Amino acid sequence: MSYNLLKQNINNLVEMSEEDMDVFTSYFKPRILQKKDFLLRQGNVAKFEGFVVEGCFRVFTIDEKGNENTLYFAASDWWLMDIDSFMNQTPSNLNIQALEDSKILIINRTDKLSLYETIPSVEKLFRVMFQKALVVWQRRLVSNHCQTAKERYHIFIESYPHIASKLTDKQIASYLGITHEFLSKIKKALN
């Protein structure tokens, strides 16, 4: 599996020498998942962070009523994790499932912490990544509170056309926080 996409992603965020980059990427192990395979199940401890090389994943919870609530999707060139479970080594509230045959590079917690000590720019890398992720979460939270479902659907389709084309209406509805039936009404009104 190629590490080129991971290296490009890192270079877009921080400067790292070629030697440090080689050491850093050597800690990531390739993993191949088939469509519908789970990388993490709710209740298990997340022992990894991942970088998606190919494919698409859905990160979701299942509530007491059995409803699926999608937090986010991760496609090629995206990071994939349950930061709470990974950092605190507590049971995860999340499921991470491949939506198609996928390839990822994963790093375990021990190796990540070791890299913080070995390569100074790694700490900056993950700080920048965390800040960018926090901005995305904040925007999504504001959107969910201030925009209609129709507006949220438009924004999702316009922002992530490469992901939206891979998803079922049920998965999109789960992400938007609406029912599948309501999404069908929105789509029908647009046609």
pLDDT of residue 141: 87
Q: What is the pLDDT along the chain (191 residues), one digit of tens a residue?
A: 889 999 999 999 999 999 999 999 999 999 999 999 999 999 999 999 999 999 999 999 999 999 899 999 999 999 999 999 999 999 999 999 999 999 999 999 999 999 999 999 999 999 999 999 899 889 888 888 899 988 998 888 898 888 888 899 999 999 998 888 988 888 888 77
Whether residue 79 is contained in a domain is answered as yes
pLDDT of residue 186: 86
Whether residue 103 is contained in a domain is answered as yes
Whether residue 142 is contained in a domain is answered as no
pLDDT of residue 43: 96
pLDDT of residue 162: 87
Phi-psi region of 62 (alpha: psi -120 to 50; beta: other; left: phi over 0): beta
Whether residue 125 is contained in a domain is answered as no
Whether residue 174 is contained in a domain is answered as no
Beta-sheet strand order (sheet of 102-108): 29-33, 102-108, 48-54, 79-80
Domain count, the chain: 1
Find the domain containing 60 and state its range.
4-119
Q: Which CATH number does the domain housing residue 112 bear? A: 2.60.120.10
pLDDT of residue 184: 87
What's the whole-model pTM score? 0.90
pLDDT of residue 164: 87
- Rounded to whole angstroms, what are the CA distances from 27 to 109, 115, 158? 11, 9, 35
Whether residue 131 is contained in a domain is answered as no
Whether residue 184 is contained in a domain is answered as no
Q: What is the dihedral of CA 12, 132, 76, 60, to 10 degrees?
A: 170
